[in-house]
Amino acid sequence: MSADEAALVQRCLRGEGPAIQALVERFQAEVFGLCVRLLNHRHDAEDVVQEVFLRVFRSLRRWDSSRPLKPWIMGITVNRCRTWISQRVRRPELADYLQETAADAPADDSAELLHEIHAALSELRPEYRSVFVLFHEHGQPYEEIAEALDRPVGTIKTWLHRARIEVLDRLRRRGMVTELPQP
């Protein structure tokens, strides 16, 4: 953990508004991105992001200052998303990544590929999806993901490998594969 993070946390604990804003700005993009991927719904993600930061500031005193702050916050994010998913059983899951894709649609077939990747992600089990997004989209190493999800590194690797195989299988089934040249 950097001294900068420790100082920022101390200022937050004293209730300094600018410090609280700085901490939110530092992690908001990643928390929101993870929420959108795990919930497949932007509006739900906005609500959950606010819950996540409420939790973060309520339990900031319990944070182990010898460890980095980011995995701790991402762990809270994954837990809140999991709780949210379990509570919205009766609500339909609106996969509004389709709108996101349409808005940013490239001119070539990559839009379809991106759509298939998103669709494959939405079909993954929540824990597989969390690991996949944290590794491939947020670029977090295995150790930090393990810390965030409170699981051994071996378990994280297994989950990620299975998630990849499921995504690859979907891409193959949907014909999104350019065959290697036959010998």
Partner 1 sequence: MNCVQSHDLLQRRLDGEAIPNRAALDQHLNNCPECRHLHAAAGSFEEGLRLLTIPVAPKGLTAAIVGQVMADRRARQRRRRWVAVAALAAGVLVAVFVARESLSTTQSVRVIAGKAVERPAVAEGPPSLAGSLFDVGEAVAGLTRRTATETVGQTRLLIPDAPPLTGPDSVGPMLDPPAQSLKQAGQGVAVALDPVTSSAKRAFSMFIREPSGTEKQ
List contacts with partner 1 (CB under 8 A): 15, 17, 20-21, 24-25, 28-30, 32-33, 36-37, 42, 45-46, 49-50, 53-54, 57-58, 100, 104, 106, 110, 113-114, 116-117, 136-138, 161, 164, 167-169, 171-172, 176-180, 183
Smallest separation, CB 110 to partner 1 (Å): 5
- Classify 176 as helix, strand or coil: coil
- Residue number with CB closer to partner 1 (150 or 169): 169
Smallest separation, CB 90 to partner 1 (Å): 25
- Residue number with CB closer to partner 1 (5 or 100): 100
Structure tokens at 60: 């900031």
- Provide the phi-psi class of 72: left if phi over 0, else alpha when psi is between -120 and 50, else beta: alpha
- Residue number with CB closer to partner 1 (66 or 182): 182
Contacts of 43-47 spanning 24+ positions with Cβ under 8 A: 44/84, 44/88, 47/84
Report how far residue 112's alpha carbon sits from residue 104's, in angstroms, rounded to the nearest whole number: 12
